[in-house]
Structures are given as C-alpha cells and as structure tokens.
Amino acid sequence: MPVKSTIFKRIHIWRYKHISEKNFIFLLSLVIGLLAGIISVFIKNVTFAIESIFQKGIILSENSIYFILPIIGLLLVYLFVKYISKKPSEHAIPSILFSLSKRDGIINKRNIYLPLVTAPLTVGFGGSVGLLGPAIASASAMSSNLSRLLHIDRKTRSLLIGCASAGAIASIFKSPIAAIIFAIEIFSLDLTFASLLPLLIASVSSVITSYFFLGDSVLFDFNVTEKFIIKDTLFYIILGIGTGIASIYFSKMYFGISSLFNRLKSAKRKLIIGGLAIGVMLFFIPPLYGEGFGFINDLLLGNDIKALGSNPFNDYMDNIWIVIGLLFGITIFKAIAMTTTFAAGGTGGIIIPTLVMGSALGNVVAKVINNCGLGFSVSEANFTLIGMAGLIAGVLHAPLTAIFLIAEITGGYELFIPLMITASMSFIINKNGLDHTIYTKELLEKGALLTQDKDKSVLTLMKLESVIEKDFIQLHPEMSLGEMLKNGVSKSNRNLFPVTDEENNFVGIILLDNIRTVMFDQTLYNSTTVETFMHKPPEYIHFENDSMEVVMKKFQNSGAWNLPVIKDNKYYGFVSKSKLLTAYRRELINFTS
C-alpha cells in the first residue's frame, strides 16, 4: 500500500475516534475560510501587480495606448488555454451550481489553478470583468477536492462549497454577513443553525486572513454623511425602477452578445473581434478598463472628472449634461464590454461589473434630479451606493445580498431603508421580466437548477439512471403467441413486456392483462403474433432531454405505473412509479436531514 494512502487512512481513523462529525465540519469550515482568503488575496495581488506595471509605465511609456492591452491579455489567455491547460475556464457560479445539482458537488481539481492564471491576465490587462467570480471558482474547487479527500458526504460537501464561496466574498469585500447571505441566496442552502455556523466560521476566518495580508484597507473609502430623508422616498423608488430596467438590459445584453459570439466557431476569430471591440470601447470610455473600483471611489468622492478619465470629450466636461451623458454611456457599455470580454475568451466575474454599472446609473439619476431645474436636491454619493445595490438585486435575484453587501462595504447601515426600497423594487421588476438570471438560465433549461423549493431541488438532485429498471424480457412484433408465452411470460416475474424490433427500436408494450383471456387458448399459439396484442404506452421518457421533474409530471398526467425510457432513439428500460416515489422519499430525507 502506498505511503500516502496509509497516512490518510490513519488520519481518517484518528479523526473518527477523537472528533465528532459536527466539530469536524466546524474545523473544516475554518480551514476552508482561511484557504479561500488566501486564494482571494493571491488573485487580487497578482492582478494589481500587473495593473501597476502598466500604470507606472515600465512596459509602455505612454498610457495613451492602453486600449490595446485587453487584446494582449486575451491573447495570453488563449495561448495558456490552448497549449497548457487544454481546457478553458468555465463560468464560475453556473459551473458550481451544476456541480452541486448533477455531480454531487464534485469539481475538477484543475479549476483550483485555472482561474488563478487566466483571471489576472484578463483583468490585469484591462478586460472589463471582475475577480470575484474566479476567486469563488478556485476556492470552491479547492473545497470540493478537499472534501473528497476527507470522505465527506455529498450534502456536507455542498455546504463546504458554500463556505468557500462565502469566504471568497468576505475576503474581497470584507463583508462577512453579505457573504453568508450570498451563499444562502445563490446556492439555495438551508438557513438552519447547522448550515449557518460553518458559513459564519468560514466568513470570519477569511476576513481575518484578508486583514492579516492586506491590513485594514477597504475597497471603498467612504463613510455615509448624509442620512435618509423621508422626502427622498419617491426618488429612491424611481432609482429602483431604473435599476430594475437596467438589470433586465444587463442580462439580455449578456445573452444576446454571448449568442452572437457562439456563432463564431473559431476561438481566434472570437479573440480578434472581441479584443478590437473592447479596445474601441476603451478608447472612447476609459473607465471601462479593468474592474472599475477606482471609478466607483471617484464617484463616491464627487470627483466626476477623474472618474471619467481622459476621453475625446475633455473640452466639454464643464457642461454637466455632457458628464451625465458620459456616465450614462458607462451604464450602457459596461454590460457590453463585460460580455465581450467573456465571449472573446477572457475569465472573470459579473458581480463587480454590476457594481460599476449600478454606481454609474445611481449617480446619473442623482445628477438629473439635482440639475433638472425643479429645485430638488439629493445626495449623489448615496444614490451611487444604492444604485449598486439595486443592480445587484436585479441581476442576481439576490436582494438581501445586495442590501447587506453595500451596507457592509461602505459602513452605510444608516441607508438601510433606501437600500431596501431600491433593491426590492429592482428585484420585483427583474423577476417579473425574467424568470432566470445570468447564472441560472442554462441550468434551468437543463433541469439542473437547485432552488429554495425543496420539491424541485430534490427532483433536481435525483438521477434518472438510478431509477431505471432493465430486467424486462424483450419481445419482437413477429413472435407468435406461443413463443411469447414460452420465452417471455414463463421466464419473467414482470407483468409488462417491451416490444422492440431487430435494431432495438421501441415499438410498443404488452401487459399480461392484454393476453390473460387468450393465453391458454392453444389454437391461437401459432396464428397470432405479439403485434396483435401490443399497444403504445401513454407516455415516453427521453433519457437525454427529460429532467426528473418532467418525468414526475409524465407519471402524474398519464396515470401510468410504468413508462419506457428511450435513449439514443433506442429502448433502454422502464421507470416504475413505485421505485420513483421510493427514490424521491429517500432523497428528500437526505436533503432535509
């Protein structure tokens, strides 16, 4: 036996003897939080190091040609994927959600290091995406593989993946409460003490890790000085409506551009077209460069000129409506630049671009109110903050995450009421406009989405293969009644027989009840065939396309006790209602225990 295997075996034996399962999970959540914090700090520092090289002019003496950098970064990502990793990084949150629902929380170990390379290259060279998604992807893959190594069961493994995600968010934003809520809202974890405490431990340990390496520096150096005023309520409702509409635009633009680039089969062509498009956008709108935290901070401090940077409209910046127009342009083009970066082969996340877009829109709304000539006056900084919350609530369908994230990262707990107003309005509008988010659309179509609905989540976790029965004797249409009785009925303990042709195509079924009245009439043994007695089933189950929810509905609507399964257009087996319900009950107990 290998030495490594022996060591792990001894560790497992010692752990089972001396540490309870509950305490072991707490210990693991602490370790995962620390590792998630280290991953987040690493990915941030590497990216900022790349950015600082260009800002200091070590490589390029003039930053006026910064708009060519994204295509260089995308080229480096392309070369890394083609010659080293051999496989591109997946979109972080959707791939994690799919792993939780269809792969028992098992994530490929290569996802630990892929985002740590491709994301800094994408963002450091100016790609208009965020680092949070890659940090979550890497931390979750690390958590999944550590759980497998320690023989953790599926349900606990899912919880620990949630801990890793919470840890990454807590480390980057230094917002442990929002991190916990994110894990619960996005990953549909049960809000119980058993799940809450590990999430809390992971978040706190990750934040401490971030403080240890980065000190007390924060992403947004801003404190709320202007409190909520009741007369501004209508304006916050208007902002909520605006961010709700903008969040629908954000999602539709993402789906539209992604679909457009998917038509280009060549990765090189995607890289060239996408890189050039990003470069053009950066030339006219410099704040689209990179993540955009500097842009948000400048808006919060009221420094509009610095936020907008050097652009072709510099000579007109004393006109407030030009400033408003440029800020609105960022609102429009941030979603385009972000999606183009993804489509061209870049790696990143959507949360931070959403914050940038929301901050610009909130600032635009405030400036319009203050300069419309009607005598109104609102806090531009507060609207900038709350615009971020509104867009997050709409785009992610996570209003509580949005509220607590903005409150924590800015110390703006005094703005809870307007945060709640805007976030709830945005969420309601988006939810009525779109049934899915950027994270969930593809999973919803595959029937692989976990939700807070326990019934749907249990059906999602169930695997069709596990309830298929294959011990049925197959009959053929040309077989005589005598042959059927001799080779089928007499040798089977089933009362159901599938009828297939020579190529295993399913053509019908025979129930024992169909032949009960004639099975002892020997005069019919040679004169009648299987084809005489067979009939079509009330429904078919298609192995490749039907989710377990669809399968359950087919049983409910047809009233059948057994339905045939078709795979690759061939007969594959049967699913019985009794086995399906037994498997459902077992999965429900596992899910809720």
List, for residues 4-23, the tens digit of each pLDDT value: 567 667 777 777 777 778 88
Assign 30 a pLDDT band (cuts: 50, 70, 90).
Answer: very high
Is the whole-model pTM more than 0.75? yes
Q: How sure is the predictor about 591, in pLDDT bands with cuts at 50, 70 and 90? A: low
pLDDT at 55: 67
What does the alpha-carbon distance between residue 254 and residue 513 come to, in Å, rounded to a whole number?
56
pLDDT score recorded for residue 455: 65
Mean pLDDT of all residues in 95-114: 86
- Residue 468: pLDDT above 50? yes
pLDDT at 329: 92
Is the pLDDT assigned to residue 409 strictly greater than 90?
Answer: no
Topology, domain 3-214: Clc chloride channel (1.10.3080)
Going by the DSSP 8-state scheme, the letter that residue 301 receives in this structure is T
Of the listed ranges 147-156, 220-229, 529-538, the one predicted with least confidence: 220-229
**Predicted local confidence at residue 588, as pLDDT:** 76
Question: Among 180, 215, 176, 210, which residue's Cα sits nearest to residue 39?
Answer: 210
Asked whether residue 208 carries a pLDDT value surpassing 80, the answer given is yes
Using the predicted structure, report yes or no on whether residue 413 has a pLDDT greater than 80: no
Q: Which of the four pLDDT bands, split at 50, 70 and 90, describes residue 149?
A: confident
Work out the pLDDT band at 60, boundaries 50, 70, 90: very low
pLDDT of 437 reads: 85
Looking at residues 29-33, what average pLDDT do you find?
Answer: 95
- Which pLDDT value is given to residue 68? 83
Distance CA(30)–CA(10), nearest Å, equals 22
Distance, in Å, from the CA atom of 280 to the CA atom of 290, rounded to the nearest integer, reads: 14
User: What's the pLDDT at 465?
Assistant: 86
Q: Tell me the average pLDDT across 247-254.
A: 94
281 by Cβ neighbours in 10 Å (0-12 / 13-18 / 19+) ranks as: buried
pLDDT category at 238 given cuts 50, 70, 90 is very high
**Structure tokens, 207:** 């934040």
Q: Round to whole Å and give the CA distance between 306 and 221.
A: 16
CA distance 346 to 439: 17
Looking only at the bridges linking them, the beta strands covering 570-576 and 496-500 are unpaired
Domain positions in the chain are 3-214, 230-452, 456-592
Residues with Cβ < 8 Å from 286, sequence gap 6 or more?
A: 66, 308, 309, 310, 311
Q: What is the SS3 assignment for 413?
A: helix
pLDDT of 150 strictly over 70: yes
* 153: amino acid identity, one letter: D
Among 9-13, 231-235, 512-516, 524-528, which is the least confidently predicted range?
9-13
Residue pLDDT, tens place only, 323-343: 999 999 999 999 999 999 999
The residue ranges of DSSP E strands in 355-476, in sequence order, are: 468-469
pLDDT confidence tier of residue 95, bands split at 50, 70 and 90: confident
Q: What are the start-end ranges of the H helices in 372-398?
A: 380-396
Give residue 193's pLDDT band: very low, low, confident or very high (50, 70, 90): low
- Which pLDDT value is given to residue 170? 93
Check residues 54 and 264 and name the one with the higher pLDDT: 264
Asked whether residue 477 carries a pLDDT value surpassing 80, the answer given is yes
Q: Please, how many CA atoms are within 13 Å of residue 145, restricted to the half-sphere of its CB?
A: 13
DSSP H helix total and E strand total for the chain: 25, 6
Q: Which has the closest alpha carbon to 498: 559, 556, 541?
A: 541
Q: What was the pLDDT predicted at 490?
A: 82
Q: Tell me the CB-side half-sphere exposure of residue 111, using CA atoms within 13 A.
A: 25
- Whole-number percent of the chain with pLDDT over 70: 91
- Residue 67 or 354, more confident: 354
Say whether 414 sits in a helix, a strand or coil: helix
Per-residue pLDDT at 182 exceeds 50: yes
230-452 and 456-592 in the same fold:
no
Q: State residue 155 phi and psi, 5-degree precision.
A: -65, -45
Average pLDDT over residues 407-424: 86
pLDDT bracket for residue 160 (50, 70, 90): very high
Tell how far CA 452 is from the center of its chain.
15
Q: CATH topology for 230-452?
A: Clc chloride channel (1.10.3080)
In CATH, the number for domain 456-592 is 3.10.580.10
Local confidence band at 195 (pLDDT 50, 70, 90 cut-offs) = confident
* Residue 503 phi, psi dihedral angles, 5° rounding: -100, 15
Please state, rounded to an integer, the average pLDDT across all residues of the chain: 86
The rounded distance, in Å, linking the Cα atoms of 554 and 546 is 10
Report the C-alpha gap between 192 and 64 in whole angstroms. 53
**pLDDT over 90 at 489, yes or no:** no
477 within 8 A of 535, measured Cβ to Cβ = no
Residue from 480, 477, 545 nearest 509 by CA: 477
Percent of the chain residues topping a pLDDT of 90: 40
What pLDDT is recorded for position 65?
A: 67
Contact 236, 421 (CB under 8 A): yes
570-576 sheet: strands from edge to edge: 468-469, 570-576, 562-567, 541-542
- Residues 6 or more apart whose CB falls under 8 angstroms from that of 471 comprise 494
Angle between helices 267-284 and 233-262 (to 10 degrees): 150
